[in-house]
Structures are given as C-alpha cells and as structure tokens.
Amino acid sequence: MTLRVLTVDDSRTILAMLHHTLSNAGFEVLQAEDGKQGLDVLMSHDIDVVITDINMPVMDGIEFIKNVRASGQYQSLPILILTTETSQDKRDQGKAAGGTGWIVKPFDPDKLISVIHRVVH
Amino acid sequence: MSDLDDFKATYFDECSELMNELEEQFAAIEGGERDADRLNAVFRAIHSIKGGAGAFGFSGLVGFAHAYETLLDYVRDGRVEMTDDVVNLCIRANDIVADHINAAQSGEELDADYGQEEKQRFDAIARGQRGGDEDEWSGEIIEEFDIEFTPVRVELAVADDEVAEPIEAPVAAVEPDTFDAPPMPVEPGHWEVRFTPYRQLYSRANDPLLLFRELAVLGEINVRAILTDIPPLSDFEPFGVYCSWEISLFAPDLTEAAIREVFEFVDGDCSIEVVPLGHVVPPAAAPVPAPVAVVQVEKADENLMALTEDEVASAPVRLVAEAPAAPAAAEPVAEEPALSFADLANEISASAPPRPVPVAAPKPAAAPKPAASGEGGEEGGNRSSGVQSIRVDLDKVDRVVNMVSELVITQSMLTQQMDENLRARYTELVRGLEVLAQTTRGLQDSVMAIRAQPVKSVFSRMPRLVRELATKTGKKIKLETIGENTEIDKTVIEQLSDPLTHMIRNSADHGIEDPEKRKARGKSEIGTIRLSAEQAGGNILIIVEDDGNGINRERVLQLARDKGLVAPDITPTDEQIDQLIFAPGFSTADAVSDISGRGVGMDVVLSNIKKIGGSVHVRSWTGKGSRMTLRLPLTLAVLDVMLVKVGESPYVVPLSSIVETMQCSGAIFERVPSGGQVLQVRGEYVQVIDVAQRFGMHSTKAPDDRFVVLCESEGSQKVALVVDDIIGQQQVVIKSLEENFEQVEGIAGGTILGDGNVALIVDVQGLRVHQIHQNAA
C-alpha cells in the first residue's frame, strides 16, 4: 500500500525537495503551505504521516500539531517536525504539542526515508 | 544533477520573494511599525532563507543567517528591544544576506569574513541581554547543519513538570554501580534495555512496536513484556499505560549510543535503562517474577525494510495472546487505537461499575484558530491566503500572449479586407467581425493582466541602493516610493531594473548635494529621491525626482560642445540641454565616479527604455532638483498605431503620442535661423520634422497635399511630423529590429501589417533628439 505523506512548509524549496525525495521513494505526497492548509488537507484526505515545518505564517507548526492532536481521530497519526534548530527548544515545543519525532534540515534523503519508517507501520 | 538545479532555481526564486518581503517589512519597521506580525514575518523570511541555504551547502549564508535569525528570535520574544540601532543593523544584515544569496547564485566567493562585523554585533547584543551565558554562540554554527542526526542525551530522571505523570509505580532510576548482584563476566555486545513508556509516548503517536522493530535492526533481540502492573479489568483505564518491557540485545559491536538513538524520539516520554550485560538490572517495580511473555526476533538484515511486516508485527500480538490473565491491552497502540479503545471502553463499562470514560467522544476537529498574523500580514505579503492563485510557468503565459497577438493581427487584417462593397453585401459578417474585434480586445486585455505585476518588485530593490549610495557618498538621502502597486507587464518590469538603478544613481551622485551645501542653501540636510509610478492612458509613467542641485546646464553644454555634440554657433534651449545627458557617450562626471560612472552614461537608460517601446524625458530646475520621467507602454506586445505613408512605404506612429493631424495646406510653417522649420499651432511654435527627408526617401506628393501629424513627446514638448498620407488606425504587434539589425535612430521597431507588409514604427522622441544633433552638426 502506498503511504500518503502530508508535507507542510512555507518554503517552496523545501516542499519541492521533500516531494522529490518522497515520491522517488514511492510515497504519495500532499502539500500544504501553512498549518491551516495542512488541517484542511487532513480533513479531506487519509494521511499516514505528516511532516511539518515549525515557522510558518498563518498557523505555525506548533499550533498545527496541537490542532491535529485535539481532533480525536488523529491521535495516533505520526507527525514529524522539520527543524533546522539543534537547539532543543523548538523540538521540545513540537514534541510537547504532540510531535512524534523530528527531521533536521537539511535532510539526507536516505535518512529522511528511514526516519519515516521509524514512525509508521 | 538537474534536479538539484531545479531546486536551486526554486530556492533563488523564493529568496528574491523573501528579500522583497524583507524590504517591505523593514520599510514599515523603519517607519515605527514594530508589531509582532512584522517581526514574525521577518524572522520567518530569514529562517526560510537559512533552511534552503543549508540544503545546498551555502555555508557562509547559513552561518550569517543563523546569527541574524537568533537575534531576530530574541527580538521577537522581547528579549532584545527593537531600537533604531537594531533596525539599522538588521537592514544592513538584509543587504549582507542578499549579497550572500547573489554570491551563491553566481557561484562567486565572498570574503570569508564578510559580514563578520555585523555578526559580532548580533553576538554583542544577544550577549548583552543574556549576561554572557551558557551555550557558545559565536562562530561554530556550521556544524549544527551536519546531515547526521545529533545523538540526543537520554535523561533517566524525569523531573520536568511538562512531562506527564509516570505510571503508577514509577521505575526507580538505578545507578548501575548500586547493583548488588555479583558482577558477571562481561560479554561484549550483550545489552539489557528496560523500557517503560509513559502515557504521553502514545499520545505523540510513538509506538513501542516500531522501537522494537528498529532495535531488531541493530542485532538479535529478545523482548519480555512486564505485565505485573496490569490492573483488574474493573480498574482498567483505556488510556492507562500498564506495560513495560525488557529487551536483551546482542550484536558484536553494539554501542550504547546506537541503542539510545533508537529511543531518540521518545526521550522524556519513557524511562530507558541501557546496561551492558554483566550487570544485572534489578527488577524495579516487580519483586516477583512477572508473568512474562517472550518473543524472539531474529537478527534482521541491515536493511530495515527487509524485515517483513509480519515478522515484526506479529511479535507483540503474540505477546498479548500469551500473557496469562492479562486484559488484551498490553500493547495499547494498535492499528486503529481510537476504535479499539472505544471497543475496550464499551467492554469495560459493561463489566465494571459505571465510571466516566474519557474516550470515545472525539472532539470535533478543532476549528483552526484565526491566524495570529491574519489581517496584518496579508496586506504586506504576497503569500496572503485570501487570494486564490495558481502558479503557472511563464512560458505558458508567453505562448498565450503570442497567440493572442497573432489573433489581433488576423482580426485587424480581416477588418481591413472589408471594403465598402463587401460591407454593404454582408451585413451579418460585418457584425460578426465587430464582435470578434471586441472579444479579441477583451481577450488581449485579460491575457495581459495575467502577466502584469506590481512595480513593487523593482521598487523594493531601490531602498538598498539608496542606502549604499548614501554611505558611499556621505550624503543623507531618503527614498520615497509612490504607486508601487501600479501594474506593468512582467517583461517590461524585467527591463526596468537597470535603467531605474542608473537613474537613481545619477540622482544620488549628481543631484543630491552634500549635507553642508544643502544646509547652506536652506534645504533640509536630508535629500529626497522620490520614485513613483502611475498609469496615464495607455502608458505607465515612472518618475524619478530629486530635490537636489538640478542639471548643471553650463557644464552640460560645455561638455557637449567639447564632444562635438553641439555646434559652437548653436544656442540650444534649456530643455534641449537637459536632453543632452541622454546623448550617446555623454557623461557629466569629471572623473568617472564609482557610483554613476562605470563608463556609461544616461544614454544606456534611454536605449534600454526605447528597447521596450518607452521614452525618457528629463526636466530640471537649477538648485531645486530634477525630474526624469520614463514613459512605458502598458504592454510590450500590442500597440495602437496610426498608419501613415512616407514615400511609398508604410510607417506607423504610436497612437498614444499623437495629438492631432492636419493637412499641410492649412498649416503655417516658418523658417528659423538654425536652418530648421517650425510650425505655428495656435500661437505655439513646434519643431517640424520631415519624415521623408529624415529617412532619405522621396516624397511623392506636392507639399500642400501632405499631412502633419502633431505628436507630443515627453514633457509636453510637441513635434510635427510631416508625412505623405494618413491611412488609418490599427493595432500592431511590435517586433524588435535589434535582433536582426542594430538599433536605428528614430525607429522603435517594426511590425507586420494586416496585408502582410512590413512597416517601421516611428520613434518620435528619437527623431527629436536626433534633430537637435543634426541641427547642431
């Protein structure tokens, strides 16, 4: 079964790179440019794993994750946080909000895929 | 690799958008608007630039952007105040970021210490508020962008109050040293892992099963579930966490770090003990040997994916099944937890005293909160979510534009073919053609609107230029921009950047005076350059004004005479002198200055603007300032023209420049001493240009049968073109001549007429300038 990944980032560059890497690895990729759009996509699609940036306009990643977790049906949806910070606080905030794991930008394609498999069945 | 190039192209595109956004935000911030929305937008822009730069290994950019971003982060959360000094530093930092981006794009190397001074100032400001503290800030940032994941220290003690309560019987963190069991011979590569998840591990969608699967990749594992804490069914809470695990692991060169890395994501969400075998982990919570279910997972191939779903997935399931008397929830996360929990809850409520079950009532999906940056951010950004938009390749739009242009020609050709005879006979066809003409026009307007962009994208680059110029010249200059939302065809905008840059350089370098001089003249010390855009009829006017010195006419004329541009016996008018700055090879700078010099003069501006069918005009007021006006066509593609005949050849004159036409028989011509002719129109004298004579053709008509086309060039200066015949109005598609020929004085381009003939487009302004030279010669 093809896994469906929702990528949420306000950077077109990052979205494009994620799309490229993930679709080459056989995932189906959906995109959103901020948290609000991400929620909209989640409402209308079955998603297996979410990859989200933290700093975004309109609705940031933390708010987005909180909203996803608050919505009952997505409590077990794996959410990976995209982060450039190695300083722990962004990552901790993301985790406290309900993030499952994280991916450090810039990501190595193989590593990205293996991190996804780490959190999805 | 072309993919990478594509990504880079996307990245640089995005960068230029982000830099524009930064300019915009800082224009407002400089003006005192320092609200959270703006600061957030600025932070995000730098953050995005850094993110992409990291992906492509632009380490200089990453390093600088990181330091800058950290400062912005402090500003954002109020730890650093956004004083004017900080604003100025940030503006300077934006320029440095832009330079880094440009260097990255062009593959140039910047000096290694470029921006170092600013970076140190970020450091100083940040340190100032932190009181010289913990993490080392300066310098070594690059390493953070290593592709490798940094191993995360796993803390055994969970002290943070953020972390949810551990399960009922917390596992005491035990120092390995305190183990009282007799030491056993150490077998390298054998490890014991005790893993006790807390509730939040599940609420963050982590799953012990996946962790085991990953451990299985490391080596041979043996998992035992500790089921002692599982309560009687009546006390069972659906979201309770009752199960922990002990895992023995073996692989020859297994390190503790490798094991801990598996638990990286669940750090803080569980208790983890990793001990090399040889130590014995005393059972912490279970004094009595627990009912234990054992499952053996063979050492999997290095490749995680080689482990089949079944092999792994079956493990905990079997585990659950074998656990005696344990409710079937030892492994609470299953494929559909919400569902299974709900089922479980039903079961419990059937067999237990009623108690509130906190499950099974999933809240309706929380309404997305209104964006914090909603209204504020929208007006500023081009990323507003209110406007629905799609991205279309410019090529595709260009193709449509081209086809519509051809359609316009075809339509005008059809209309031309309709002579009186046909019109009378086929009224329906005539009506149809009229509708076609209207629709074509509408289609053309709509298509051109797609390609139109606000001039903002060019204007927003100018504040930086002015700042640089002010610094270099030691002058104080303020830039005002007006009408930056005026839309122009994208192709025109692209051609606009260089001329504008040149004009602003010229104003800053030659126009604006030194602060002392300005003071002496009773002006404000700060000079103003005003950049404005407006639509006027079928044209866009871009005006660069300054309140500086004005053109030094004496010197301009002297230089022009020295260079042979003006004959000694001619006395040009002030207006003519001003126009001389556009003459090829003319430069007023005594020495070629670093700023506006560069070996080219304003003639470059003129030729660039002409290339896109526009014109330039300058007006100057001595001691008060000058104004340069660029008149640009709304679109490059289609031009409304009047078709005239000169000799046997058709010429077209842009309709937008024509004021009126008249027959020569009724016109009053007068000779002037310089050898030229003027036309008297309602008391005004207008320079006359005989197009036939000018282009070396022979007029086929008697002087009185010819026509005058009165045109207005820049600055309401009129010029009378004498042509042999006036044929009519039509729309034409401009074709550049320069691709095949060189630039021809007085000719703006060519076009193909409806009947297939080629006609040249007359450049009114060019003719005029040329006439001045010719009179001078």
Within this chain, do residues B183 and B297 fall inside the same structural domain, yes or no? yes
Name the residue among A89, A98, A55, A5 with its Cα closest to residue B366: A98
pLDDT of B588 reads 52
> Given B51, B268, B368, which is nearest A105 (Cβ)?
B51
Within this chain, do residues B96 and B106 fall inside the same structural domain, yes or no? yes
* Domain ranges, residue A39: 4-16+27-107
Distances from the Cα of B567 to the Cαs of B199, B577, B589, B686, B777, in angstroms?
94, 13, 21, 21, 6
Quickly count: other Cβ atoms within 10 Å of residue B487's Cβ. Answer: 18
Residue B666 in this model has a pLDDT that exceeds 80: no
Residue A88 lies in a domain: yes
Q: How confident is the model at residue B344 (pLDDT cuts 50, 70, 90)?
A: very low
- Which of B590-598's residues contact partners 24+ apart within 8 Å by CB, and which partners? B593/B509, B594/B472, B595/B469, B595/B472, B595/B473, B595/B505, B595/B508, B595/B509, B596/B502, B596/B505, B596/B506, B596/B508, B596/B509, B596/B510
Distances from the Cα of B576 to the Cαs of B579, B628, B770, in angstroms?
5, 14, 11
The 10s digit of each residue's pLDDT in B589-621 is: 543 444 444 445 677 777 778 777 778 888 888
Question: What is the arithmetic mean of pLDDT over B207-216?
Answer: 85
Question: What is the arithmetic mean of pLDDT over B497-510?
Answer: 85
Residue A69 lies in a domain: yes
Residue A57 and residue B13: Cβ atoms within 8 Å?
no
pLDDT of A52 reads 92
Residue A8 lies in a domain: yes
Residue B479 in this model has a pLDDT that exceeds 50: yes
Within this chain, do residues B116 and B223 fall inside the same structural domain, yes or no? no
> Given B55, B149, B363, which is nearest A72 (Cβ)?
B363
The 10s digit of each residue's pLDDT in B675-716 is: 778 888 887 888 888 888 888 888 888 888 888 888 876 555
Residue B169 lies in a domain: no
Residue B370 lies in a domain: no
The DSSP result for B241-287, as a single string, is ---EEEEEEE-TT--HHHHHHHTGGGTTSEEEEEEEBTB-PPPSS-S
| CATH number for the domain harbouring residue B743 | 2.30.30.40
Within this chain, do residues B448 and B500 fall inside the same structural domain, yes or no? no
- Cα separation, B199 vs A77, whole angstroms: 16
Return the structure tokens found at B411: 């339509």
Average predicted confidence (pLDDT) for chain B: 73
The 10s digit of each residue's pLDDT in B6-61 is: 888 888 888 988 998 898 888 888 888 888 888 888 988 998 888 888 888 888 88
Within this chain, do residues B198 and B287 fall inside the same structural domain, yes or no? yes
> Given A10, A13, A71, which is nearest B10 (Cβ)?
A13
Residue B644 in this model has a pLDDT that exceeds 80: yes
Select from B265, B269, B341 the residue whose CB has the most chain A CBs within 10 Å, as the one to mutate to test that interface: B265
Residue A21 lies in a domain: no
Question: Could you tell me which chain A residue has the CA closest to the CA of B201?
Answer: A100
Residue A116 lies in a domain: no
pLDDT of B630 reads 87
Within this chain, do residues B600 and B472 fall inside the same structural domain, yes or no? yes
Q: How confident is the model at residue B312 (pLDDT cuts 50, 70, 90)?
A: very low
pLDDT of B650 reads 92
The 10s digit of each residue's pLDDT in B106-134 is: 888 888 788 888 888 888 887 776 544 44
Residue B172 in this model has a pLDDT that exceeds 50: no
Within this chain, do residues B622 and B764 fall inside the same structural domain, yes or no? no
> Rg of the Cα trace of chain A?
13
Question: What is the arithmetic mean of pLDDT over A114-119?
Answer: 86
pLDDT of A50 reads 93
- Higher per-residue confidence, B735 vs B511: B511
Residue A57 and residue B383: Cβ atoms within 8 Å?
yes
> Given A59, A76, A108, which is nearest B368 (Cβ)?
A59
Residue A118 lies in a domain: no
Within this chain, do residues B36 and B95 fall inside the same structural domain, yes or no? yes
Residue A67 and residue B366: Cβ atoms within 8 Å?
yes
The 10s digit of each residue's pLDDT in B128-142 is: 765 444 444 443 333
> Which chain A residues touch B101 with a CB distance below 8 Å?
none
Among B607, B633, B659, the domain-final residue is: B633
Question: Could you tell me which chain A residue has the CA closest to the CA of B204?
Answer: A98
Within this chain, do residues B300 and B269 fall inside the same structural domain, yes or no? yes
- Higher per-residue confidence, A121 vs B624: B624
- Cα separation, B615 vs B632, whole angstroms: 7
Domain count for chain A, please give it.
1
pLDDT of B341 reads 44
Which of the residue ranges B262-276, B445-459, B469-483 has the most confident prediction, judged by mean pLDDT?
Answer: B469-483
How far apart are the CA of A12 and the nearest CA of chain B, in angstroms?
7
| CATH number for the domain harbouring residue B100 | 1.20.120.160
pLDDT of B267 reads 81
pLDDT of B450 reads 84
| CATH number for the domain harbouring residue A12 | 3.40.50.2300
Residue B277 in this model has a pLDDT that exceeds 50: yes
* Domain ranges, residue B258: 176-351
Per-state percent for chain B, helix, strand, coil, to nearest 5 = 45, 20, 35
Residue B143 in this model has a pLDDT that exceeds 70: no
Residue A62 lies in a domain: yes
Residue B311 in this model has a pLDDT that exceeds 80: no
- Cα separation, B505 vs B531, whole angstroms: 12
How far apart are the CA of B765 and the nearest CA of chain A, in angstroms?
45
Residue B349 in this model has a pLDDT that exceeds 90: no
Domain count for chain B, please give it.
5
Within this chain, do residues B512 and B564 fall inside the same structural domain, yes or no? yes
pLDDT of B715 reads 55
The 10s digit of each residue's pLDDT in A31-84 is: 998 998 888 888 888 888 999 988 888 888 889 998 888 887 787 889 999 887
Which of the residue ranges B217-221, B302-306, B640-644 has the most confident prediction, judged by mean pLDDT?
Answer: B640-644
Residue A13 and residue B385: Cβ atoms within 8 Å?
no
Within this chain, do residues B116 and B18 fall inside the same structural domain, yes or no? yes
Within this chain, do residues B552 and B647 fall inside the same structural domain, yes or no? no
Residue A84 and residue B6: Cβ atoms within 8 Å?
no
Q: How confident is the model at residue B186 (pLDDT cuts 50, 70, 90)?
A: low
